[in-house]
Amino acid sequence: MTCLEVNIEEKRFGTQTILRDIGFAARNGEIVALLGPSGAGKSTALRIVLGLDHDYWGGVEGLSGRVGAVFQQPALVPWLNVSDNIRLVHPEDVPLPDIPALLDQVGLGRVESLFPAALSLGMARRVALARALSVSPSILVLDEPFASLHPQLAARLGGVVAQWARQMQATTLIAMHDLDHALSIADRVLVLSGAPSTLALNLVVPPLTDRTAQTRLRNELQSRFFFLSDSREADEREVI
Q: Read off the pLDDT of residues 47-86 as tens digits, 9 standing for 90 and up.
A: 999 999 999 999 999 988 899 999 999 999 999 999 999 9
CATH code where residue 190 lies: 3.40.50.300
Region 105-128: what's the mean pLDDT? Answer: 93
Question: With 80 as the cut, is the pLDDT of residue 148 above it?
Answer: no
What range does the domain containing 27 cover?
A: 1-65+138-150+168-235
Domain assignment present for residue 159? The answer is: no
Question: With 90 as the cut, is the pLDDT of residue 16 above it?
Answer: yes
Report the mean per-residue pLDDT for the chain. Answer: 90
Question: Do the Cβ atoms of 87 and 97 come closer than 8 Å?
Answer: no
Report the 3 state secondary structure along the chain.
CEEEEEEEEEEEECCEEEEEEEEEEEECCCEEEEECCCCCCHHHHHHHHCCCCCCCEEEEECCCCCEEEECCCCCCCCCCCHHHHHHHCCCCCCCCCCHHHHHHHCCCCCCCCCCHHHCCHHHHHHHHHHHHHHCCCCEEEEECCCCCECHHHHHHHHHHHHHHHHHHCCEEEEEECCHHHHHHHCCEEEEEECCCEEEEEEEECCCCCCHHHHHHHHHHHHHHCHHHCCCCCCCCCECC
Question: Do the Cβ atoms of 171 and 27 come closer than 8 Å?
Answer: yes
Say which residue, 51 or 92, is predicted with more confidence: 51
What's the whole-model pTM score? 0.90
- The closest of 59, 153, 40 to 106, measured between CA atoms, is 153
Domain assignment present for residue 144? The answer is: yes
Domain assignment present for residue 118? The answer is: no
Percent over 90 (pLDDT), the chain: 78
Question: Do the Cβ atoms of 113 and 83 come closer than 8 Å?
Answer: yes
What confidence category does residue 230 fall into, taking pLDDT thresholds of 50, 70 and 90? low
Domain assignment present for residue 94? The answer is: no
The 10s digit of each residue's pLDDT in 188-199 is 999 999 999 999
Question: With 80 as the cut, is the pLDDT of residue 240 above it?
Answer: no
Total domains in the fold of the chain: 1
Q: What is the pLDDT of residue 233?
A: 45
Domain assignment present for residue 96? The answer is: no
Which of 129-133, 175-179, 181-185, 229-233 is predicted least confidently? 229-233
Percent over 70 (pLDDT), the chain: 95
Residue type, 58: G
Domain assignment present for residue 60? The answer is: yes
Question: With 80 as the cut, is the pLDDT of residue 123 above it?
Answer: yes
Domain assignment present for residue 54? The answer is: yes
Q: What is the pLDDT of residue 234?
A: 40
Q: What is the pLDDT of residue 235?
A: 43
What confidence category does residue 229 fall into, taking pLDDT thresholds of 50, 70 and 90? confident
Q: What is the pLDDT of residue 236?
A: 43
The 10s digit of each residue's pLDDT in 168-188 is 899 999 999 899 999 999 999
Domain assignment present for residue 83? The answer is: no
